[in-house]
Every structure is written in structure tokens, then in C-alpha cells.
With several copies, the nearest count.
Chain A
Amino acid sequence: MDTALLTRWITGIAETVRANRERLTELDAAIGDADHGVNLDRGFGAAVQALAEEPPVSPGALLRLVGGTLIRRVGGASGPLYGTAFREAGRHLGSLGDSPEVSPAELARALRAGLDGVTRLGSAAEGDKTMVDALAPAVRALESATASPAAARAVAEEREAFEAAASAALAGAEATIPMVARKGRASYLGPRSAGHEDPGAASCALVFAALLSAVNDPGQG
């Protein structure tokens, strides 16, 4: 997996976030402050621009650039959190020497590092009704599907791995509906937060759906 694929991924996130902007904002209006869609739209739009201005040479550098851009441009809770997720993932790849190609298994480990960064910063556990409820199962699915060394090679299985991650994220997001929020703005509502999908979890599902499409899409070159 190279910078071209990851660039398609980030571009895909920007597109799907733009397309789902109103929906995400609606979700945030119900249990938050109605800006999540706008925040991410601003952030990933800026990330795509940053990638175009100075195309990074390695997946690690790319993820760090995206993370830094989100931190600098989004604000709110999701900015530092999504930003940390991408930045820590990039830093993990950096610690491995920033090779121009990474295997799905390596990406899985990088995203694990990103997840750890998110939980360290936001100290949310699964079940708290946050993006972690989509991010954690997605990372787990990707890890297990890429665990066997063989897996990394077969393209078919590779796809399955990202399909597994995408559906795990989606399932995780939907699972937040009955939850009572314990973190973030939604926690102010206490029991009233139940019955609504968490906007950050919903956007996280979009992130992994975009990853799957990037893997499936051969790209224009």
C-alpha cells in the first residue's frame, strides 16, 4: 500500500464527509452542538489540499501530514482526536523507517497506534458512545484479518480484511445508538443521549468505508 492509495483514501474521506455533512451535523444536533459535519468537512478538505501542495513521500509522512492538518484546522473535540489518530499512526510508521510501501498488517498496527493515541488523549473506553466505539472494532478486525503472514499477500484476502474493518466500524457506529454517552458533549444529556447514533462514530464508519473503496479502486495511476 503506497502514498497513491492512501491519498485516494484521504480524498475519499473528504468526499464522503462532504456528501454526509448534513447527516453528521444532524446527528450532532441531536446530542451535541450541530457542527461535526462542518468540522470534518473543513478538516479533510484542508488535508486533501495539503497533500496536493506537498505530496508526501511515504505513507507515514502522509498520515502525519493529515493528522497535523486536522489538529490545526478542525478544532472541537474531533479535531485533536482524529488528528491524533492519523498522526500517531504516521509516527508508528515513522518509527519503522517510513518505507514507501506498507503492508495491510503494518497499516493495521499503525492504526492501532492511532487508536491508542485517541484513548490516551480522550480517555474514552468502548461503550462511552464515542468514535472509539467504531474505531476500536475496526482496528481489531483489520488486525485479525491481517494476522496470518500469508494474508498480507493474497489480494482477495486483503480486500476481505478491509471489508471486515469497514463493516466492524459500521456495526460499531450503529451500536452506539442505545448507549448513554459518558464522554464528550453528549454526556451532558445523560440518559437523554440514548437513542441517537454518535456523530463521531458515524464519521469513523465513513473513514473505514473510504479505506475499503480506496483499496478496491485501482486508481487512475
Chain B
Amino acid sequence: MKKLINSAETVVTDALRGLAAAHPDLRVDPGGRIVSRACGPTPGKVGLVSGGGSGHEPLHAGFVGYGMLDAACPGEIFTSLVPDQMVTATAAANGGVGVLHVVKNYTGDVLNFELAADLCAEEGVEIARVLVDDDVAVRDSPDTAGRRGTGATVFVEKIAGAAAEGGAPLAEVARVAREVNARSRSFGIALEACTTPVSGRPTFELGETEIELGVGIHGEPGRSRAAMRDARELAAVALDAVNEDMPLSGDVLVMVNGLGGTPLIELHIVFAEIAERLSGRGARVARSLVGDYVTSLDMRGFSVTACLLSEDLARLWDAPVQTPALRWGR
């Protein structure tokens, strides 16, 4: 598998050097693995910090900026960050009125954030945490580590970020963040697995007409294997999985997300079918994102994330945002 890298070991550091060169409005520490706003923390504003394994670009570093995150810390490829990063990032985000940790629900992320939160608390920083767990491919039961955090992370970071920018206190920012997560569900489908730089081979093998349903964003195999079919049917499979878990109606914020190796033209084709099927359900696409937002290295495929909007959430979604990957109103 050919990749545009210098070495498997330096992938994250090299990519952060590039992010730094491309975005003067970010402060990037490639070695320490911290990305924060160049302007530093905003005094009196609740700080937002997120992080996790790399390989999901633009998540999270691409969402650092006005109206969204204050800081992000990327871990190794697919490996959740380490506590020290979170502590440093939290300091870089701390405007004096508390910091919200946005944590995707994976054992590794949860444990490391937990250890980090303790250390932050010891330093006297007020910490709240929101666990993002929107992936309906995983049953939410004591027999699993719980649903995974995937696409909804973008919604949580955008909307909670807007609340924080608007001056809401920590408790309220955390409440909004949890509400967004509670109203969001995702489902992903892979046409081809991704290849990690270190292993150099696909994390799983799919036949010429096989696809993986309910795939994770770390190259984890999904819920089941199935036969390839056309975009309309695949859109239906994904949307129905979401709808089964959380009936869709009214105004919906929809993201059709590319997993890294999927061209935009195909994502638009999927989105067309999603939008049509939604309106067939009496729901409507009130807001949408189509593109690569939560990727899995070079995986081919897509995920669909739906969030049931309220007027407040829609207003916060529309609020100005200025980050490398999301930008409007400013």
C-alpha cells in the first residue's frame, strides 16, 4: 500500500507540521501533539478540548478555532492520546471558567481522559466531560463497551462550541453537548478497509463484491459482511439502521461523511438518496454536511449521522465558526 508518508513512525508529527504550516491561526506543537488556537484561551469562556487517535482527519485538530474547539490532542494513529497531552491541552483551553472534555466512547479514550481529568482536577481546573456514543452498529448493553463515538462528535463540538462562544457556563455547555449526543445516531459502511502505516496491510479483507456493514472508524470490522449494492440501497441500509434506533422526524441535521478514500461525487450521490428517503419519512434535511469529516485513514465508504434538531440547536449550528474544516458566518 503506497502512502504519502516519510515513515510509519513520523506520520502524526509530520502531518502536524503540515497543519501548522497551513494554518497560522493555530498553535501547533508537533512533538507534544497539541493543537490550540493561536490566540490562546479566551478569558471567561468555557474551554472545549477533544482528542483521540489520529487517522480521523480533519477530526479533531481541524475543528480547533473560533466557535468550536479551543484545543485538540491527536494520539498515535488509531491510538487514543495519553493523559499528559490532555493536561497540557486543557491548560491551553482554560479561560478560567472550566473546561469541557469531549470524549468519544472507546475504552482507551475513556480511561486516558479519566486519568487526565484527575490530574487536571488536582491542578484546580473545573472539568466536565461529555461522552459521545452515537454509532448504532454497536448495541448499547453491558455486554459491550457501549456505542462508539463517531460522526456525532462533529455536531457536539460545533454546537457546544457555539454555546461556549456565546458565554454559556460550563454546566450549560455540557448539557447542550449531551443533548446533541442524545439526539444523534450514526452508521457506517465500508467498501474497502483502511491500511495503517505501521501494518501496511488492510485491517480486514473484503472481496470484490463484499462490503462491511456497521464498520468502526479504526478499521475495526463491523456488524456483518454483506453483498455490494447500489448507492440507493446502501443509503437505505445506513439510514434505516439509524432510524431503527432513533426514529427520525421533523428537522434533521444530516452528515454524509466520507471515510477517507471516497470521492466527493460519490458522497453527493449517497446524500441525494438519504435526503429523498428522509423526506419520504416526513422528516426533512434542515442542515447538512457532505464530505470528509471523521475519516478512517484511506478507508473507502461512508457514514451517515443524523441529529434531531431543536430551534436552539439549529441556531447554535448556524452560529459563526472559523476552523480549518468548518467555516461559515465569519
Contacts and interface: CB of A to CB of B under 8 A. Distances in A.
Direct contact of A and B (CB under 8 A): yes
Interface of A: 25, 29, 31-35, 38-39, 42, 71-81, 121-122, 180, 182-185, 187-190, 192
Interface of B: 53, 75-84, 106-108, 111-112, 114-115, 137-139, 142-145, 148, 196, 198-199, 203-204, 216, 218-221, 223-224
Contacts of B137: 188
A76 B108 contact: yes
Grouping DSSP codes into helix (H, G, I), strand (E, B) and loop, the A interface class, with mixed when no group exceeds half, is helix
B9 to A, nearest CB: 9
A29 B107 contact: no
B112 A75 contact: yes
A188 B138 contact: yes
B214 to A, nearest CB: 8
Grouping DSSP codes into helix (H, G, I), strand (E, B) and loop, the B interface class, with mixed when no group exceeds half, is loop
A80 B143 CA distance: 21
Contacts, number: 111
Contacts of B80: 75-77
Contacts of A32: 218, 220
B110 to A, nearest CB: 9
Nearest to B33: A75
A205 B139 CA distance: 30
B221 A187 contact: no
A185 B76 contact: no
B104 to A, nearest CB: 12
Given A72-B82, A185-B106, A188-B216, A34 B139 contact: no
Contacts of B223: 190
List 7 tightest A-B contacts by C-beta distance, closest first.
A33-B218, A80-B111, A77-B108, A76-B108, A77-B107, A187-B144, A75-B79
Among A79, A182, A192, the most chain B Cβ lie within 10 Å of the Cβ of A79
Contacts of A184: 107, 145
Given A38-B76, A39-B76, A80-B115, 19 more contacts: A33-B220, A34-B196, A35-B76, A71-B82, A71-B83, A72-B83, A72-B84, A74-B82, A75-B108, A77-B108, A78-B108, A79-B108, A79-B112, A80-B108, A80-B114, A182-B143, A188-B144, A190-B144, A192-B221
Among A29, A42, A182, the most chain B Cβ lie within 10 Å of the Cβ of A29
Contacts of B220: 32-33, 185, 188-189
Contacts of B79: 35, 38-39, 74-76
